[in-house]
Structure 1
């Protein structure tokens, strides 16, 4: 069984070598921070070959496999769309920002990334930090700030917006749950901001990746507002949480992944109701979709949503290649069906 899953992992190699042709060699320090980097894109027209376009409650709208010349793109942990889905801000677990514009073809499908730039994230001392202190995992936005959650040194830093790329944090807050309950490599993976008119009153809230309560469910917390406190999210193994986003209909979705020889490769999206979130609650959700190899998936890490011109809710999902030749940087787009 393990040998079959090893073959499944190795099967990704032709996509990288033949499809992109860029080496993966980024060492973690930028020679020219903020310089525009060329991005090579290979279009993905089918999520799973021969399986149509509908997967659960999502319709696949297209995707891209992406790379930069020296492997600078990678290690993406979370993504947030801006300008109506035309641009994005992302964070890497190597302690970097990445920004860019999303290009589309005449039919509106994803076609490429332009104006792609990477910056060192600055710590509270004004300097780039090592992975132990700058392991960025989640990102959330409001009009004046970019909020980033970190593992290891468990905290949420607020950066000014605009100007976050070259600024130090303007404030730092600790998770409502004592940090010792969060694993160093399994802490605040998903950082979300609830709508102002929701039950959480615009508060930031998080869900841990691999920090569980005694019943084996994900630890989570609301940082402020009328429902400040800890709650848990039901875990359905072998998946763990990697990102999430609050929608404008009173729900939120979590992206989950499995990635390994034993569990195989898979992504799952579940939907929950914000009204169910309150101190002490166990929140249960519904599966929106699940995809496993040989679908076009990898180490899926980031998700965000935007409203398309037709009024539909679109989800953008991205992967983290870990700067590894056997993995890919994917950007996939789905339409959430009514």
Structure 2
């Protein structure tokens, strides 16, 4: 397979016209504006880094896998992507990405020998074999615990993430809906397996929608949120949910780590992953979904989390 060529332009300032690097609990380290001559590149919905900290797996909401490797400059900053490949996803019946209703992939999580993918429209969490996921059909499906009738067609299972094994959730998979709400107006969510299996809710605030999440080594859950309206444009927020609060029946709120607006280098932010670094620090990598629009960008941003 021929690698997909990807260009990368550096982002040195997060806040436009400012050298400020501290934003809430995060320190901005740098970023990239990504592009490609391959028409399939874009629409990134989620990202997960593998154990070596350079290779990653993403899903595109067009029903494609995207995998590659990040490159860094001599100072350790993001410099580009290499070994990028885009391949079609297949469902259990062999249907390919051309059938959007079946293959609207929104979230991805890596758990041992499994890769979990959450889908909207045809709501489900499919399980792919990690060793051959690009060519394989799903080998199973994880029951989502949330009645499908409660999930909006375009606002359903945006997030799937797996907890660390050495955490209260003991490696469980967790899903959070983008805009689908319970009777109290809070976002639907569920712990799909493990000792705390059951449904919970995420408090909906300020018209933000959850677009992805990642667990920290402590078992705390970070939720990436986005908002768009014509009056104020795009906005982004990250909330931190404490591990002890993730129990069936709970309505979790969390603390805001950062909130960004059009004054900052953001776009339609859809993916987040936590990346432990060799020096013991914890970095967050965020990616955006350009919807294959000339008016949007595919961004990759990196922050250091102040613990």
Q: Same fold, TM exceeding 0.5? A: yes
Q: 2:218 maps to which residue?
A: 249
3-state SS in 2 of match to 1:64: strand
CA contact 2:23–2:258 (8 Å) conserved in 1? yes
Whether the 8 Å contact between 1:221 and 1:231 is mirrored in structure 2 is yes
Structure with max Cα Rg: 1
Taking the TM superposition and a 5 Å limit, the aligned residue runs for 1:1-338 are 34-48=1-15, 49-129=17-97, 130-338=99-307
Q: Is the 8 Å Cα contact of residues 73 and 329 (structure 1) preserved in structure 2? A: no
Tell me the CA shift for residue 323 of structure 1.
0.3
State the shift of 1:107 in Å.
Answer: 0.4
After superposing the two structures, state which structure 1 stretch, 259-268 or 244-253, moved more: 259-268
TM-score, structure 1 normalization: 0.88
Residue of structure 2 equivalent to 1:21? none
Would the aligned equivalents of 1:238 and 1:263 in 2 still touch at CA under 8 Å?
A: no
Equivalent residue of 2:52, what SS? helix
**CA distance, structure 2, for counterparts of residue 286 and residue 327 of structure 1:** 29
Instruction: Specify the SS of the correspondent of 2:270.
Output: strand
Q: How many residues align?
A: 305
Q: CA RMSD in A?
A: 1.1
8 Å Cα contact 1:84/1:307 also seen in 2: no
Deviation at 1:214, TM superposition (A): 1.9
How far apart, in 2, do the equivalents of 1:263 and 1:235 lie?
A: 19
CA distance in 2, matches of 1:84, 1:61: 20
Whether the 8 Å contact between 1:57 and 1:336 is mirrored in structure 2 is yes
Higher mean alpha-carbon deviation, 327-336 vs 287-296, is at 287-296
Tell me how far 1:152 sits from its aligned partner: 0.8
**Structure 1 position 225, deviation (Å):** 1.7
Q: Which runs of 5 or more residues in structure 2 are unaligned? A: none
What per-residue deviation string (whole Å, max 9, x for no partner) do you get for residues 68-116 of structure 1?
1133211111000113321110001110000001000010000000011
Shift of residue 217, structure 1, vs aligned partner: 1.1
Mapped to 2, the partners of 1:83 and 1:140 lie a distance apart of 13
Q: Per-residue deviation at 1:51?
A: 4.7
CA distance in 2, matches of 1:272, 1:163: 33
Determine if contact 2:169/2:219 at 8 Å carries over to the other structure: no
Is the CA contact 1:138–1:148 (under 8 Å) kept in the aligned structure 2?
yes
TM-score by length of 2: 0.97
Tell me how far apart the structure 1 counterparts of residues 165 and 142 of structure 2 sit (CA, whole Å). 20
- Give how far 1:62 is off: 0.3
Deviation at 1:216, TM superposition (A): 1.5
Shift of 1:205: 0.8
How far the C-alpha of 1:149 sits from its partner, in A, is 0.5
